[in-house]
Structure 1
Amino acid sequence: MSDQPHPAAPPATGPTPGAVTVRPRRIAVYAAIGAAAVILVGVFVALKLRGSDTGVYFRTSDAVAMAGLGLLFAGGIMLTARPRLRADAHGLRVRNIVGERFVPWPVIERISFPEGAVWAQLELADDEVMSVMAIQSMDKERAVVALREVRALYDHHAPPQTRRQRTPVPAEDPNRPLGRLEIIDREKAAQGGGRKRRR
């Protein structure tokens, strides 16, 4: 017997949201600058070792090893820019610094950005919480837009019975970017409560 498909989401009004791809921007810029600086330092030290007159003999292999260490450290720094989130009609493909995982919409109960958090979270069935490092608070307005787009897809495709009721959070200064993320949680909770009362 073939595997049964996931339950289809109920029809939604309005146009169907398109696929969304999210990558962090600021951390990628900082990582690129840091990686370039480490490589330059590694190459500089390697060249200085070859021209050193301290009486200690450094072979070419020593200089190459020093430059290689610089490249290795730079690669480690660039891992912080690896996170990516892809959302479509089937679910979310979440890639953090290490590993990548596909999460179908029926498994997701909530897409949240807790107060004071560094990045977004998925609240899954069985009380599992998964970090979404592609949506980061340091990206400010981009993070707000990304969270709205992903939640629009979630509202369109996720079965209603899988959605967890959100607890409203206190209103924050609308001029504070991270506060706007928290306000989205509050507004979504209010909308959910209104729909429930109208039934």
Structure 2
Amino acid sequence: MPPVTDEVSREPFRSRRGRAMATVMAGLSLVLFVALAVLVSGVDEGGWVIADRVMLGVIGVALALVLWRWAAIAAVPDDAGLTVQNLVGRRHIRWDEIDDVSFDEGDPWVTLHLTDTETVAVMAIQRADGPSSRSEAQRLAALVAASRH
């Protein structure tokens, strides 16, 4: 397989708005839930017990971790193929396995159609990013096309 040409940028694909939202919300949830755990009324007033307060902190940390995973979503092209890191799971797909790239109206993110009839979501290119998402989908399609030459 010849290497992908340098004419098409091989910068990683990342959602700008999704990543910014997830990062900000992860920080806010951590601060909010930990602050609530510290500030809620104690056992003396018949309110929250220590276990309740600890659980608030645990919920805040868990929520922050899930949002951190959302911020880590990416698709990284290399000479051999595309490494897709979605919310759950990481997968490397060779260029010759990709049959088509689609980003139909109403789709939340790009979909790869593989030669074995499987489809793979590429959450790193999200419609929420506006017009730039369409150009990123075209760039991915150009990388796939360039790999075939």
TM bin (shorter chain)? 0.7 to 0.9
Relative contact order, higher structure (CA 8 A, sep 6+): 2
CA distance in structure 2 between the partners assigned to 1:56 and 1:83 by the alignment: 40
Question: Which of 118, 124, 133 is matched with 1:134 structurally?
Answer: 124
Whether the aligned pair in 2 keeps the contact of 1:20 and 1:149 (CA below 8 Å) is no
Letter in 2 for 1:122: L
Structure 2 CA distance for partners of 1:44 and 1:154, relative to 1, 3 Å: same
Letter in 2 for 1:38: S
Structure 2 CA distance for partners of 1:149 and 1:42, relative to 1, 3 Å: same
Query: RMSD over aligned Cα, in angstroms?
Result: 2.5
Please name the residue that 1:55 is paired with. Answer: 46
CA distance in structure 1 between the partners assigned to 2:102 and 2:47 by the alignment: 58
Higher strand share: 2
**Secondary structure, in 3 states, of the residue corresponding to 2:12?**
strand
List runs of 5+ in structure 2 lacking aligned partners: none
Letter in 1 for 2:72: R
Between Structure 1 and Structure 2, how many residues are aligned?
149
Letter in 1 for 2:80: H
Shift of 1:18: 4.0
Give the greater-gyration-radius structure (CA): 1
Question: Which of 24, 32, 39 is matched with 2:23 structurally?
Answer: 32
Question: Which of 5, 8, 11 is matched with 1:20 structurally?
Answer: 11
Q: TM-score, normalised by structure 1?
A: 0.65
Q: TM-score, normalised by structure 2?
A: 0.83
Q: Is 1:94 aligned to 2:84, yes or no?
A: yes
Whether the aligned pair in 1 keeps the contact of 2:42 and 2:48 (CA below 8 Å) is no
List runs of 5+ in structure 1 lacking aligned partners: 1-6, 160-199
